Amino acid sequence: MQAVIFDFDGTIVDTEKIWVDIYSKLISEKFNHVVPTEIFALCIGTTDILLYEYLRKNVDATIDREQLAPIAEKLIGEQLAFLEPRPGVVELLSTFANQGLRIAIASGSKKKWITPFLIKNNLLHFFEEIRCADDVENLKPHPELYLAALDALQLPATECFAIEDSVNGAKSALAANLQCFVVPSEVTANLQFPEAVILKKNFNEVSLDSLKIK
């Protein structure tokens, strides 16, 4: 193996719970409606299209993304400034770097969220390449993000593996023919992941020895 490609949201930093909590509160305050957790779960690791489709169908047909998204993004950005990497992530990055692995990110977020967090937490130097929503047309579970990261690294999928927290992210990595570790976040812990992933409870359990020999 020559490289590892990390997801960002929910994997390097647990933004997923913040996203769910903020949207839940906004929707409750503005529309007096409680969104089922399974609707939020469908959006984890991909776009929020399904959330807005649900709201227009079940709450108000006139709901527009611009009514909620700017408010939610502002609140999420404010909280992101205080978040730290998930436990074990920094140690794992150091281990991989010491093992000579090249390290990249494939994230459905935009660079305006990713880069400031990495700089603030002194992590930017670990990542050789970052491919995100700014770089592709199709987000996870489509494989384009991982294919873009592989192209940036100029490596075949057989020489790389992914680390994810979400079902959509795992599907994206597998569709790009990558082996994929999944370390669920609080929000994704009870979801059903594809059988092909290597499921781990925490980042301390992630290692090259766990990968399947191809």
DSSP annotation string for 51-98: HHHHHHHHT-TT--HHHHHHHHHHHHHHHHTT--PPTTHHHHHHHHHH
Predicted confidence at residue 65, as pLDDT, reads 85
Predicted confidence at residue 49, as pLDDT, reads 82
Predicted confidence at residue 213, as pLDDT, reads 64
Separation CA 208–CA 179 (nearest Å)? 11
Predicted confidence at residue 18, as pLDDT, reads 86
Predicted confidence at residue 214, as pLDDT, reads 55
Contact of 8 with 149, CB cutoff 8 Å: no
Distance of CA 84 to the CA centre of its chain: 15
Predicted confidence at residue 93, as pLDDT, reads 98
Q: Where are the beta strands (DSSP E) in the chain?
A: 3-6, 102-106, 129-131, 160-164, 179-182, 198-199
Catalytic (active-site) positions:
7, 9
pTM of the model: 0.89
Predicted confidence at residue 133, as pLDDT, reads 93
Superfamily assignment of 3-14+85-210 in CATH?
Answer: HAD superfamily/HAD-like (3.40.50.1000)
Predicted confidence at residue 121, as pLDDT, reads 95
- Residue 149 tokens read as 């990261």
Q: Which residues of the chain have pLDDT under 50?
A: none
Tell me the pLDDT tens digit for each residue of 4-63: 999 999 999 998 888 889 989 999 998 999 988 888 877 787 778 888 888 899 998 888
Query: Going by C-beta distance under 8 Å and a sequence separation of 6 or more, which residues neighbour residue 205?
Result: 183
Query: Going by C-beta distance under 8 Å and a sequence separation of 6 or more, which residues neighbour residue 193?
Result: 167, 170, 182, 184, 199
Predicted confidence at residue 198, as pLDDT, reads 96
Look at the chain and count its residues: 214
- Residue 213 tokens read as 């020999």
